[in-house]
């Protein structure tokens, strides 16, 4: 018969401390902020994804709805591959890719394991769960698909960059114009690239599994750049989350005529 040794604070060799934590600082503040911001983002993005309207005002398209693959995309550039209805809006067909990319992201995993599952809520604070199985079994073993979502994310970045370039046209399709919406889409695309290129999987893809960097100077150079970006991955994760929500909000405001797009030239 095999017995399983207790893990976590009950593991053999761990100090016997009854208190949940000896920390006296406000260690709960960070997980609380993370929880609040992520819940707000989930509520906002869910409402907008199911709204199925006001996501396009020439030449701007919301990043929540691009690429538009459904038949109900109205005047937005689209491929009528799927039907759309009240539930299956054009956003629902594509949401799994950016959502899966962020859900399986190494940084977000840390953030939501701490803030939603309290596992653990902070460093040197005991978690409420008695067992710890890591990510080695169902369902968390599926976190390993992250690298495939990374590839999908690159495709989305290309498409959203293309959308930003197209926004240098005016509503009649003439090039050489720029509005505040163009800047919003450009910044969003740039932050999404920084988020993707600073990804841990990206770092492994460009520089992993090599025994000798000296024999692969180009990959070493890429790895050096990605490693530098990687140290700021958390910042890019948050900045791109805000920018994608703001870009959608901006298009929503312009599409509903709440305010007019500010034209620079």
Using DSSP bridges, classify how beta strands 68-70 and 78-82 pair: parallel, antiparallel or unpaired. Answer: parallel
Residue 53 or 224: the one with the smaller Cβ distance to ligand FES is: 224
Q: Are 196 and 156 in contact (CB under 8 A)?
A: no
Task: Return the range that interacts with ligand FES (CB under 6 A); candidates 59-67, 99-107, 114-122, 158-166.
Answer: 99-107
Residue 78 or 233: the one with the smaller Cβ distance to ligand FES is: 233
Site membership for ligand FES, residue 106 (CB under 6 A): yes
Residue 89's SS3 state is coil
Residue 177 or 200: the one with the smaller Cβ distance to ligand FES is: 200
Task: Return the range that interacts with ligand FES (CB under 6 A); candidates 8-16, 104-112, 121-129, 154-162.
Answer: 104-112
Minimum CB–partner distance for residue 227 and ligand FES (Å): 13
Q: Are 96 and 152 in contact (CB under 8 A)?
A: no
Site membership for ligand FES, residue 201 (CB under 6 A): yes
Task: Return the range that interacts with ligand FES (CB under 6 A); candidates 164-172, 182-190, 198-206, 219-227.
Answer: 198-206
Site membership for ligand FES, residue 199 (CB under 6 A): yes
Number of residues that bind ligand FES (CB under 6 A): 9
Among 169, 177, 200, 235, binds ligand FES (CB under 6 A): 200
Site membership for ligand FES, residue 105 (CB under 6 A): yes
d(CA 178, CA 168): 5
User: What own/partner pairs with CB < 8 Å and gap ≥ 24 does 174-181 have?
Assistant: 176/265, 177/263, 177/265, 178/263, 178/264, 178/265, 179/60, 179/261, 179/262, 179/263, 179/264, 180/250, 180/261, 180/262, 180/263, 180/264, 181/57, 181/59, 181/60, 181/250, 181/251, 181/254, 181/261
d(CA 156, CA 162): 10
Among 55, 93, 107, 156, binds ligand FES (CB under 6 A): 107
Site membership for ligand FES, residue 238 (CB under 6 A): no
Minimum CB–partner distance for residue 123 and ligand FES (Å): 20
Site membership for ligand FES, residue 156 (CB under 6 A): no
Place of tokens 């990687």: 230
Q: Are 58 and 75 in contact (CB under 8 A)?
A: yes
Please report, as ranges, the residues that interact with ligand FES according to CB under 6 A: 105-107, 146, 150, 199-201, 233
């Amino acid at each position: 018969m095999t017995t399983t040794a207790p893990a976590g604070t009950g593991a053999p060799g761990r100090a016997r401390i009854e208190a949940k934590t000896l920390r006296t600082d406000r260690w709960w503040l960070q997980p609380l902020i993370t929880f609040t911001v992520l819940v707000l983002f989930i509520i906002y993005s869910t409402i907008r994804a199911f709204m199925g309207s006001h996501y396009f005002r020439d030449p701007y398209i919301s990043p929540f709805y691009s690429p538009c693959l459904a038949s109900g995309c109205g005047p937005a550039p689209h491929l009528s591959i799927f039907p759309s209805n009240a539930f299956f809006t054009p956003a629902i067909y594509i949401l799994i890719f950016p959502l899966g990319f962020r859900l399986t992201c190494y940084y977000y995993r840390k953030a939501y394991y701490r803030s939603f599952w309290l596992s653990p809520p902070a460093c040197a604070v005991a978690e409420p769960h008695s067992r710890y199985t890591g990510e080695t079994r169902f369902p968390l073993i599926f976190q390993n698909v992250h690298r495939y979502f990374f590839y999908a994310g690159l495709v989305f970045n290309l498409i959203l960059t293309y959308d930003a370039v197209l926004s240098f046209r005016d509503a009649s399709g003439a090039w050489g114009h720029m509005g505040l919406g163009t800047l919003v889409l450009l910044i969003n695309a740039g932050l999404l690239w920084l988020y993707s290129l600073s990804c841990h999987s990206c770092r492994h893809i460009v520089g992993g599994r090599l025994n000798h960097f000296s024999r692969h100077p180009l990959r070493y150079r890429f790895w050096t750049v990605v490693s530098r970006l990687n140290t700021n991955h958390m910042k890019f994760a948050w900045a791109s989350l805000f920018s994608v929500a703001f870009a959608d909000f901006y298009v929503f405001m312009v599409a509903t005529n709440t305010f007019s797009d500010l034209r620079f030239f």
